[in-house]
Structure 1
Amino acid sequence: MLKPTLKQNFLDQYPDTDDQAYKAQQSMKQAYFNASFYKQAVPLTSWLVLLFFLSIGGCLTALYLDALNIAIRLLGSAFIFIAFLYLKLPTFQAQHTFWKAYLQAHPKNELKVVILPLDLPIQQRQIALLTKFKCCTLVAGLILFYASLFL
């Protein structure tokens, strides 16, 4: 729901842009963001993804070997790793601050960055949904992990 609003604002500011140029601009903008913002987060993110896949693989192996207790514990661990991965992702506020700083540092705006205000209802809804998802994933992982201790 957020992307059409962002795309519409972009096309309103840059009317001579076609759909292909918009996609190219978005990929350049994402590459710049990843290179600048994720410098410190890459090692931890890589480890969390690796641990997630190892947990899922271990869970499937434990299910195959009829070890339900271990499978539930590993599934809970996988949920916890995903929750930490989502907690490590930048928030909308951090991205907003990053792009405002970019616009101040680059007045020519070579990447054609368009910033939506954070107080839009659609932005607030996205922030609330992502926060609920992070919390639910972490709680589900903790419940599965600790429930497996009592099986």
Structure 2
Amino acid sequence: AAPALASAAEALAGVYHHVCAVNGTQPERLLLEHAGQTDSSGGEGRGVDEEALALAAGELEGLRAAGQVARYADTLLDQLTHLRAALDTALDSRHRHQPVMEAEERGAELAELQEQVIKLKSLLSTKREQIATLRTVLKSNKNTAEVALANLKSKYETEKTIVT
């Protein structure tokens, strides 16, 4: 259990250092001290070794392992509290830097934009109808002009033949 706790503590410390780097803050020294205590756990047991010479070797190792597991658990708890504080700081700074629109404001803005889209689509439809009407009027004017021109030509030809 101790090696698993040690690797978890190292991973958590790495995440904590990364969050602190993103925040631009210094990591707490308490975590570094905890890491030093767990790494030097072999040197702490010397006084216990002298007092417990009568204990069996298995019992002594069990006590050492239990103490080491307790220190790792304590380290993990401290790391979690500091990591939580660092993450809260990061989230607070993100919320301060990014203006957040409330749901009502977003809903009102969305409704307003949808109304504008509907109005613009309606306007586009009426403009298309106007263009179609103008094309029809233009064609009829062209036909009328061609008929009038043909009539003028025939009149000219008839008057020309009368004059000559």
- Normalising by structure 2, what TM-score? 0.27
Greater C-alpha radius of gyration: 2
- Normalising by structure 1, what TM-score? 0.29
Bigger proportion of residues as helix: 2
